[in-house]
Every structure is written in structure tokens, then in C-alpha cells.
């Protein structure tokens, strides 16, 4: 095993839905047996070739939540297994967190959740969310350059809800098509620099996902979650959680609740964690962390070249 960055406290962080692209995971699959095992397990549990869709598409299948969510999880854990089996992190890892869907990857990484259970759960989670979106149609948008107080007033005025607080100057809102259309226009009038309509299949992290949360609870009740071996932070509380029952409760609540990624990062950095391994597809979290605190160090681990560069 090779040693990685030595000295500072470290954390594992995992991306959420939206980081997917055709071809993700293929490089790891071709270069590491540990990655192959992860994809083969995923294919077996799901009953279809997730690896084929990840590597070759088509994009309309990959972006479907019931496929996209296990795909992102599989790529993250494939990369994590490569890291764990080939490298030492040069010191203790003090925290583990993921953005929204990324919480499931984080729970696998910290030893709380078996990968096979996680891949089945997120497949169902994605399906439940899509079904709720069909029953309660809606969308999401990102308000740039608007502070949280103004964003809350926009939501109160238009009937939308705060979905994600990812970094300074970026507030993601969720709701019905009508409420988001009205909120986008009102946000500009309140001083937003820009409004970006997100390409999503439903109004995630809002009360319109309540039915999905209820179905997910029934599935989580069947799964064993163990105390985290690495300190784990929840999106809902932006704090460390150790109790298995509480973790399940928060995973259910997260579907209908605001996620506080910025606060999670501030919590970690406030305890002296300066180095972050973003494990999985894309570099979304790198961009968010740099907006939160430019002094933080981020290492992206997704492809064979990333590991060779270590």
C-alpha cells in the first residue's frame, strides 16, 4: 500500500444525483478487480446490467432516478474500494459525508451499510421519487446571488420550498411547476443575479416527495444499519450521527427536507479537517467546497489516472 497525503485531518465526501455521465466508472472497471466486483454485485442485485448503462448509455436510461441513483453509488464505492485496497490515507479519516444521495455512499464507506443493501435501497428510492414526481409534478431551480433570507421570502410568497443550501450565494428551491416559475421571476425582482432551471424529474427535497419518504421508510425498516466506524454527518442536521435508528429516521426525512451541505462542510472544517477526498463521478463537490472555503484541499478520485497521480 502507498501512503497518501500526510499530516492534516481528512474526510471522505461523496457526490449526489446530477454528477452522472455516460462512461463513468468504465476506466476503474478496466483497471481494478475491486471495481469490477462492485459493478458485478450491483448488476446481480438489481437484475439488470447497471455497468452497461453506466459505460455506454443511453442517456435517457442513465438519467432515470431508479438507474441514476444506484449508478452514482456504484461508481463512488468502486472508487472507494480502489482507494481502500491500494492506499493508506496517511493518517486517520475523521469524517464521512455525502450530498443527498451521496449519504448512502458515505454510509457504505463508514461501515454502516452493506453495499448490496445500499444499491437495492437507492434503486427503490429513485423509483419512489420518480413515482411521487409523476403524482405531484414539479421541478427545481437554483437561485444565484440571493441570500437565504430573501430566498425564504421568495418561497413563502410563491409556495416553493428551500431544497438545498450548498454553498454561499447558491440556494436551490423546489416545488410545483407553477410555484417555481413564479419564484424564478420573483427572485430576479428581489435581486438574484441569475436563475438556473435544473434538469430534474421532480420536486426533490420538498413536501411533494412525502409519499416517496413513506415508502422508503418501509424499505429501510428491513435493512440493518450499524454504528459508523468513521464519524458520519447527516444532510438534515449538518451534524454527526451515531445512533442507527436516528440514521434511518434522517434518511427518510432527507427526501422531504432541506439539505445543508454548506453547514456540513463548515462543521467538518471547524474541527480542523482540511483535506477532502471527493470519491466518485465528477467534481461538483470540489466546486462547492472552494466556494465555502478556498483554503480547503480537495483530491478527486474517480479514474485510474487520479490514483496514479497519488
11, 80 Cβ separation under 8 angstroms: no
Q: State mean pLDDT over 3-21.
A: 82
Respond yes or no on whether the N-terminal peptide bond of residue 218 is cis (omega within 30° of 0): no
> What pLDDT is recorded for position 124?
98
Active-site residue, selected from the candidate residues 141, 205, 206, 269: 205
> Per-residue pLDDT for 2 more than 70?
no
* Structure confidence by residue, pLDDT tens digits, 134-164: 999 999 999 999 999 999 999 999 999 999 9
Classify strands 240-241 and 93-98 as parallel, antiparallel or unpaired.
Answer: unpaired
Give me the domains of the chain, ranges plus CATH numbers: 2-134+206-309 (3.40.366.10), 138-197 (3.30.70.250)
205 belongs to the catalytic site: yes
C-alpha cell at 286: 470540489
> Per-residue pLDDT for 3 more than 70?
no
Q: Indicate the pLDDT class of residue 197, thresholds 50, 70 and 90.
A: very high
* Structure confidence by residue, pLDDT tens digits, 280-292: 999 999 999 999 9
**Cα 99 from Cα 16, distance rounded (Å):** 5
Classify strands 161-167 and 170-175 as parallel, antiparallel or unpaired.
Answer: antiparallel
The residues, ordered by sequence, that sit 6+ positions from 11 with a Cβ below 8 Å of its Cβ are 93, 94, 95, 96, 97, 268, 273, 275, 276, 277
**Residue with grid cell 433570507, as numbered in its chain:** 149
> Per-residue pLDDT for 305 more than 60?
yes
Active-site residue, selected from the candidate residues 100, 105, 112, 174: 100
**Cα 66 from Cα 122, distance rounded (Å):** 7
269 belongs to the catalytic site: no
* Structure confidence by residue, pLDDT tens digits, 30-69: 999 999 999 999 999 999 999 999 999 999 999 999 999 9
Residue 131 DSSP symbol:
H
Mean pLDDT of all residues belonging to the chain:
94
Amino acid at each position: 500500500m502507498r501512503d497518501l497525503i500526510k499530516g492534516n485531518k481528512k474526510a471522505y465526501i461523496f457526490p449526489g444525483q446530477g454528477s452522472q455521465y455516460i462512461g463513468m466508472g468504465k476506466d476503474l472497471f478496466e483497471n481494478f478487480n475491486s471495481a469490477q466486483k462492485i459493478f458485478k454485485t450491483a448488476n446481480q442485485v438489481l437484475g439488470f446490467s447497471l455497468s452497461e448503462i453506466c459505460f455506454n448509455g443511453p442517456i435517457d436510461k442513465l438519467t432515470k432516478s431508479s438507474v441514476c441513483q444506484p449508478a452514482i453509488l456504484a461508481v463512488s464505492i468502486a472508487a472507494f474500494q480502489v482507494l481502500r485496497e491500494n492506499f493508506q490515507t496517511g493518517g486517520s479519516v475523521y469524517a464521512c459525508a455525502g450530498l443527498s444521495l451521496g449519504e448512502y455512499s458515505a454510509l457504505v464507506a463508514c461501515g454502516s451499510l452493506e453495499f448490496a443493501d445500499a444499491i437495492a435501497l437507492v434503486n427503490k428510492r429513485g423509483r419512489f421519487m420518480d413515482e411521487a414526481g409523476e403524482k405531484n409534478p414539479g421541478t427545481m431551480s437554483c437561485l444565484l446571488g440571493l441570500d437565504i433570507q430573501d430566498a425564504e421570502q421568495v418561497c413563502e410568497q410563491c409556495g416553493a420550498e428551500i431544497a438545498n443550501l450548498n454553498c454561499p450565494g447558491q440556494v436551490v428551491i423546489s416545488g410545483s411547476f407553477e410555484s417555481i416559475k413564479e419564484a424564478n421571476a420573483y427572485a430576479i425582482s428581489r435581486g438574484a443575479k441569475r436563475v438556473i432551471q435544473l434538469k430534474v424529474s421532480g420536486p426533490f427535497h420538498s413536501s411533494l416527495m412525502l409519499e416517496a419518504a413513506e415508502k422508503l421508510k418501509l424499505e429501510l425498516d428491513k435493512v440493518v444499519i450499524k454504528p459508523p466506524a468513521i464519524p458520519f454527518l447527516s444532510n438534515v442536521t449538518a451534524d454527526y450521527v451515531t445512533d442507527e435508528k436516528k440514521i434511518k429516521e434522517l434518511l427518510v426525512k432527507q427526501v422531504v427536507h432541506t439539505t445543508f451541505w454548506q453547514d456540513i462542510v463548515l462543521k467538518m472544517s471547524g474541527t480542523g479537517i482540511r483535506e477532502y477526498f471527493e470519491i466518485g463521478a465528477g467534481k461538483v463537490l470540489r466546486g462547492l467546497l472552494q466556494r465555502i472555503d478556498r483554503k480547503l484541499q480537495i483530491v478527486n478520485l474517480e479514474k485510474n489516472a487520479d490514483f496514479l497521480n497519488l
